[in-house]
Amino acid sequence: MNHTEIQISSDLQKFIDKFEPSKFKMMTKGIEIRGVNDMHRNVSLAKALIEKMKLNLTVTHTADMLAYGGFEVTYR
C-alpha cells in the first residue's frame, strides 16, 4: 500500500496553533475542523484570524458539513 504523508504549510500550522481546534482531520489541501457547536461564531472567528494574520488560507462550509458540525480550512 502506498502511503503519502501530508505536509502542513507554515500558514496552516500558524492557524492551527492560534485557533486551537479540539478536533480536526488532515486533508491533502488543508484541514477539516469537526465537532463545532456554534458554527457561525467559529467560522467567523476562523475567517477573522486568517485575515488578521494575512494567511494564504480560505474557509469553506457547506450544508452537508453542518450535520457533523464541521468546516474546512484550505490553501488558496
CA 27 to each of CA 23, 32, 41, 47, 59: distance values in angstroms, whole numbers, following the listed order: 13, 7, 23, 19, 14
**pLDDT value of residue 2:** 61
Cβ(23)–Cβ(36) below 8 Å: no
> Which residues, 6+ apart, have CB-to-CB distance to 34 below 8 Å?
23, 24, 25, 68, 69, 70
pLDDT over threshold 80, residue 68: yes
The predicted-structure confidence for 21-63, as pLDDT tens digits, reads as follows: 989 999 999 999 999 989 999 999 999 999 999 999 999 999 9
Confidence band (pLDDT; 50, 70, 90) for 12?
Answer: very high
Average pLDDT for residues 64-69, to the nearest whole number? 89
